[in-house]
Amino acid sequence: MTIENMPLGKAINAGLRKALADNDKVLLMGEDIGKLGGVFRITEGLQAEFGTSRVFDTPLAESGIVGSAIGLAMRGYRPVCEIQFDGFIYPAFDQITSQLAKMTFRHEGKLAMPVVIRVPYGGHIGAVEHHQESNEAYFAHTAGLRLVSPSNPHDAYWMIQEAIASDDPVLFFEPKSRYWPKGDVNLAGNPTPLHSARVARAGTDVTLVGHGAMVTMLLQAAEIAQEEGTSVEVIDLRSLSPVDYPTILESVRKTGRVVVAQEASQNVSLGSEVAATITERAFYSLEAPVLRVSGFDTPFPPAKLETIFLPDADRILDAVDRVLSY
């Protein structure tokens, strides 16, 4: 059977298993990923299947995890690092942005850096700060890094394998609130290219653009809008760096109106960059300004306030109404 119904977290697990089986140079490393299977059990069962030399626990030292991965990559391995939570990545920031991102450029392309860093990110799980952040903009700003984020189990299964196969460093942002909802995964199909966006829903009046967990919220808003007579197209970015602008611009030229939504704060964000690029490249196709819907420009709040901080369908629909009013 080539179609299986599974949660996004299990799809990543299956993708990692396939990568480990296909290439003995693939290694998994991180805090508690071995016997425990990680905080979210994404690597559950993989150490028992492939052994402690392929799937192993590391000390609680993110800079050491990434630094060791860089050395392993230089020796021909394909390490996959897990950062337990988004906000724990900062001790490794220097290793990622000053070393990992620059190594291939310094060697004029002669040295590959096939390192994948898995980053569970985003809100909706009722946790505290440093456990629910959306910090992808820091790394999207850094030349030399690739960033991707699946929104559904099928993409998660294929994208983690494509990321591991890349000779460039890839930050694999996993929307942790989507770990548990199930979806169909075609285990035998041809995957969409890693850095291609996806039209998640076709429409004619407004284009909604987002990534990760926000895609589910955009689809909910589109369904409500449809009931009110507005046809909404939803674009799942999938790749955050590079961004597949041709797919986005094709939609924009059809609808003439755009709302970009994200969980991250708005100031100097990925959504701001997408909005600016759309305005720059498709100005004469726009019937209204590109609007942004984001988390607020504050630190991530206590869990009881996360529903106020994070964009919901109502905030997205309010932006849709505003963009249609021009």
**190 phi and psi angles, rounded to 5 deg:** -85, 120
CA dist 291 and 322 (Å) reads: 9
CA dist 219 and 274 (Å) reads: 19
- At residue 1, the pLDDT reads 63
CA dist 182 and 40 (Å) reads: 15
Comparing C-alpha atoms, which of 7, 50, 6, 8 is closest to residue 28? 50
DSSP string of 35-54, one letter each residue: SS--TT-TTTTHHHHH-TTT
For residue 132, the SS3 value is coil
CA dist 206 and 135 (Å) reads: 27
- At residue 56, the pLDDT reads 97
- Domains of the chain (ranges; CATH) run 3-186 (3.40.50.970), 198-324 (3.40.50.920)
CA 311, 244, 270, 146 torsion-angle sign = positive
pTM of the model: 0.96
Q: What six digits make up the tokens of 214?
A: 């926000």
Q: Report whether 144 contacts 170 (CB < 8 A).
A: no
**What residues act catalytically?**
131
- At residue 128, the pLDDT reads 79
- Averaged pLDDT in 10-residue chunks for the chain of 326 residues: 93 98 98 96 98 97 97 97 95 97 96 98 88 94 98 98 98 97 92 96 98 97 96 98 98 98 96 98 97 95 92 97 96
